[in-house]
Chains A and B, each alone.
Chain A
């Protein structure tokens, strides 16, 4: 089956991203396809490479980046939500006149159309949030 995943909460305050990660990993291990993971609302905060959690805790950003690399996952951060919350890639940083970017490896910034497209192209849309 082909899944689309939407994540609506940031890391650590909420468990939504952890649960979504475990769902994605389990689905891939069972041979399913993940068409796209779309990060919305505070979920965009999963996509900053500047998080430094304690050594004995999981590093969600890293887990997502690694899963993206090993399975060629499409991790999309909503641009409108990202701009509100200070998540920038190199292009956006330049365009907005900011002195740096913070997007994590394997993540890309794009529009809400990518969420709708994921809904159209997938058999199931699974939303993880509050």
Chain B
């Protein structure tokens, strides 16, 4: 067990589209392995990274593995904070309604399902980044 005081705040900063390059998939692989280390983990999605959370992804025609289901399972790995930058959504003509529902079960409130995705503006995102100890940028 990791002591609460020695926990570090990890931020995975996702900047790339889910397909076209491998960054998104290999970032997720780090998140899943990292979950075993019991640190304070958040994910952030900026720039084309917001496309990683698009709902109803289908990669069949491109011959790629559709790994988007993994985001929805992150709650089971105690990864409950997914921050999406509002400006990045706006620039791409997207709203939070275009994103997949990602939830976690809150054990403190009768395992109620709560949304993991939070939309923040650029200024909040900057503060969020500044408030983390380890930032892994993909």
A interface with B by C-beta (< 8 Å): 6, 8, 40-41, 80-81, 111-113, 115-117, 119-120, 125, 127, 129
Contacts and interface: CB of A to CB of B under 8 A. Distances in A.
A127 B136 contact: yes
Given A125-B134, A125-B136, A40 B26 contact: yes
Contact of A116 (B22, B33, B133): B33
Interface of B: 8, 10, 22-23, 26, 29-30, 33-34, 36-37, 39, 133-138
Nearest to B137: A127
B29 A80 contact: yes
Contacts of B10: 116, 119
27 contacts: A6-B136, A40-B26, A40-B30, A41-B26, A80-B29, A81-B26, A112-B30, A112-B33, A113-B33, A113-B37, A115-B30, A115-B34, A115-B136, A116-B10, A116-B34, A116-B39, A117-B37, A119-B133, A120-B8, A120-B37, A120-B39, A125-B134, A125-B135, A127-B135, A127-B136, A129-B137, A129-B138
A-B pairs, top 3 by smallest CB distance, nearest first, are: A119-B134, A112-B33, A116-B34
B100 to A, nearest CB: 24
Given A112-B33, A113-B36, A119-B136, 20 more contacts: A8-B138, A40-B30, A41-B23, A41-B26, A112-B30, A112-B34, A113-B33, A115-B30, A115-B34, A116-B34, A117-B37, A119-B133, A120-B37, A120-B39, A120-B134, A125-B135, A125-B136, A127-B135, A127-B136, A127-B137
A85 to B, nearest CB: 10
Contacts of A113: 33, 36-37
Contacts of B135: 125, 127
Nearest to A80: B29
In this complex, the member of A6, A113, A119, A125 whose beta carbon has the largest number of chain B beta carbons within 10 angstroms is A119
A117 B133 CA distance: 13
Given A125-B134, A127-B136, A129-B137, A116 B30 contact: yes
Contacts of B33: 111-113, 116
Contacts of A8: 23, 138
B47 to A, nearest CB: 12
A123 B49 CA distance: 27
Contacts of A127: 135-137
